Amino acid sequence: MKPTALLPRHTAAAVLLATLLCGPAAWADSSVDTPGVPPGPTLPPQAQGKPPSWAGKAAHKGVVAVSHPAAAEAGARALERGGNAIDAAAAIQFVLNVVEPQFSGIGGGGFMMVHLAKSGRTFAIDGRETAPAAATPTMFLFTGVSPNQLFVPTSSSGLSVGVPGTLAAVDLALKSWGTTTLAQALQPAIALAENGFRINRFLAANIASDGGRTSFQPETQAIFQPGGVKLVEGDLLVQKDLAKTFRLIAQQGAEVFYRGEIAPAIVSAQQRSRSPVLSEGVGRMTLADLRGYEAKIREPITGEYRGWQVASMSPPSSGGLTLVQMLKMLERFPIGQFGFGSPLTLHAMIESMRLAFADRAVWMGDEDFSYVPKKGLLDPTYVAARGGLIDLGARMATPAAGDPRPFDVAMNHAPIQLAAIPSEEEKGVHTTHFSVVDKWGNVVSYTTTIENTGGTGLTVPGYGFLLNNELTDFNFAPTFNAATGNPGANDVAPFKRPRSSMSPTIVLRDGKPFAAYGSPGGSTIINSVLNTTLNLIDHGMTIQQAIDAPRLSVTSAAGSVSCEGTGSFMQPRISVATQDALRALGHTSLGALGSDGCTANIGSVQGVIIDLHTGKQYGGADQRREGTVIALPR
C-alpha cells in the first residue's frame, strides 16, 4: 500500500503528515551515533523476500537469554548436560528465585510458552496464582479507603497473596516434556542459595528502597538487611532457609509445598496485614486452597501478522488478545516504510494501543470464570472496524471499548454494561522474562513474577521465599452491571485467576519457530512485546537491536504516552523533534512543545531467534537489567 493512500481526512493535519511522510525519519537526534540500527525507513522483511536479519554469536546447540548471568549459566549447563529447553527453563526459574528473589519464585506465578519440535505444537502452561475460596468481589474495599488509594496498603498485605503457581507449573512442564527430575533442576539453585552469590546493582537498588514500600516485613529484613544493615551491590547474599526449602522439594516433590510441611507456613505468613484496617488486610488462603491448586496447559492465542504466526498468552492473561489485536490493526499500515521511530509509526502504535487497551479493560479476564469473547475480539471484520478508527492525521478522542459479541461464535447473550468498567491503570514494573532454544529446536518463552518488587514483602518464615501480591491485578472495586448484576471480567471471585498482562510470545513461520521473547513491566509488557515484534518484522532488526531500541507504551484508552527518550540510556533516542511531531498530532500527554516527555524505562526483553534457513540460533538480552545470552557451544 502506498503511504499516500493513507492521507487523513483532517486537512488541518495533512500538511504536517505530508512533511512526516516525505521528510527524513525524525527518530534520532542527528548528533547521536546509532550504530547498527536502521536510521530510516526499511521495507518489511517479507517485501524484501527474506526473513529479518540476525547478528551476534551463532549457535546450534542451544541459546539461553536471561536477565541474570547466574541463572543463564544454570540454563546453559542444563543444555550442555544434554537436557532440553524445558529442563533448562526449570533450572533457570529456580536460580532466578535465588538471585532475583524480588522478581519471581515459588511464591508467585507465571506463564510458560513451550514449542515442541517433535510435534510442532505450541502450548502454554498457566501457573497463574488463584484467588482463595474465601475471596469475594468486595474483599479489597477497606473501611474508609477509596479504591484508588488501595494499591499501596493492599500490595503489602496478606490479603493480596494468590495461591502460588510457579512450582506446580515447572513441575508440570518437567513431567510433561522434561528429561530431568525436579530434584536435578533444583541443584544449581540449592548451591547458590546455600553458598551465596554477589548482589547485583538491581537487587541492591531494590533492597535500598525496600522494594518501594515503607519497610519490608521482619523476616524479609532479616534476609536483605541482616543485623539492620542493608546489603549493597557486591555483598554476598546467603539464603539458608531457601536452600532448605529447595532441598525439601527435591526430596519430597512439589507435594511438600502444596500439601506438606511448607503449606501451613504459607497460610500463616499471609495472615499478616499491612492495610490501614489491619483485620481487613489478612490473607484468606487456607490449606485447602493450596491443596487444590492446579497448573493448566492452555492453547495460546494465535494470529497472523504479515505472514508470521504470533502465538502469545491466552486468558487469564490479556497479553495475547491485546497483542494480536494491535498487530492486526497495524497490519494495514506500511510500518516498515514509515520507518522505525518515525512519528507516523509511533502515532499508529499509540492509537492501536489505545483501542486494544479499551477492549482489554472491558472484555478480558479469567475465561474459566467470565465470558471472554476471544473469537470476536480477533474477528477480522471487528478488528478492521476498530482499526478503522485510527486516523494518521490526528489523535482520536478517547475510544470506548467495542462490542465484539456479534462476532463471537461462542456468543453469550447476557447484556453487559460496557461503560461501568473502569479503565486500566498502569501498575507494576517488575517480574522477569527468559527465553530458551535447545539443539533440537524446542523453545521456551517464560514470563514469571511475584507481581510487585518483592511481592507483598512477606517472606514465609523459616522457608525463605517471598509471597506474591498478584491478587492486586484484579479490579479493586467490583464492576457490576446495574441492570443485570453481571460482574466485570476481572472482578474477584473464588478460585479465579487475576487478569495478567504477561505475554510470553513465540513467532513462527509456516509452523516453525523463528523467535521467542517477552518482558516484565505490568501492563506495559504487552507493548514491549509489540515494540519488539515490529522491530523484528517491520524494521528488519536483529534480536539485540530490537531489544535495545527505545520503547513506547500506552496502557489505557485515554492514551497517556510513556516512552524512552532523551533521558534514556538506550540508543537511538526519541528526540524532542519526534515528540513535537507527536504533540502536533494531539498527543499532549507528552508535555509542552520543545520539552522532553520521554523519560520512562520500559520493560526488559530477553529473546532468542532461530534462522529459518540455516537453523542457526541467536540470542538478545536487555541492558535495562543484567541481561545475559549464552550461545552453545561456547
Residues that bind ligand GLU in the complex, under the rule CB under 6 A? 428-431, 449, 451, 470, 473, 500-502, 520-522, 525
Contact 141, 527 (CB under 8 A): no
Of 322, 431, 449, 555, which residue is the catalytic one? Answer: 431
Quickly list DSSP for 570-619: SSS-B-HHHHHHHHHTT-GGG-STTS---B-------EEEE-TTT--EEE
**Residue among 244 and 427 whose Cβ is closer to ligand GLU:** 427
Contact 323, 503 (CB under 8 A): yes
Query: Catalytic residue at 524?
Result: no
Shortest Å distance, C-beta 473 to ligand GLU: 5
Shortest Å distance, C-beta 109 to ligand GLU: 8
Shortest Å distance, C-beta 492 to ligand GLU: 15
Contact 540, 336 (CB under 8 A): yes
Q: Which parts of 528-581 are beta strand (E)? A: 552-553, 562-563
Shortest Å distance, C-beta 313 to ligand GLU: 10
How far apart, in whole angstroms, are the C-alpha atoms of residue 67 and residue 95?
11
How far apart, in whole angstroms, are the C-alpha atoms of residue 467 and residue 471?
11
Shortest Å distance, C-beta 500 to ligand GLU: 3
SS3 274: coil
Residue 120: φ, ψ to 5°: 70, 15
> Amino acid identity, residue 517?
Y
- Distance, CA of 261 to chain centre: 32
| CA-closest candidate to residue 448, choices 203, 107, 62, 185 | 107
**Residue among 128 and 274 whose Cβ is closer to ligand GLU:** 128
Shortest Å distance, C-beta 449 to ligand GLU: 4
**Angle at alpha carbon of residue 430, lines to 578 and 172, rounded to 5°:** 125
Q: What does DSSP assign to residue 226? A: G
**Residue among 587 and 625 whose Cβ is closer to ligand GLU:** 625
Give me the residue whose beta carbon is nearest to ligand GLU: 428
**Residue among 102 and 245 whose Cβ is closer to ligand GLU:** 102
How far apart, in whole angstroms, are the C-alpha atoms of residue 300 and residue 296?
12
Grid cell of 615 as nine digits: 537453523
Grid cell of 450 as nine digits: 511475584
How far apart, in whole angstroms, are the C-alpha atoms of residue 344 and residue 356?
18
**Residue among 93 and 449 whose Cβ is closer to ligand GLU:** 449
**Residue among 432 and 442 whose Cβ is closer to ligand GLU:** 432
Shortest Å distance, C-beta 502 to ligand GLU: 5
| CA-closest candidate to residue 179, choices 278, 64, 74, 91 | 91
**Residue among 547 and 632 whose Cβ is closer to ligand GLU:** 547
Partner residues linked to 64 by β-bridges: 436, 630
Catalytic residue numbers, as ranges? 431
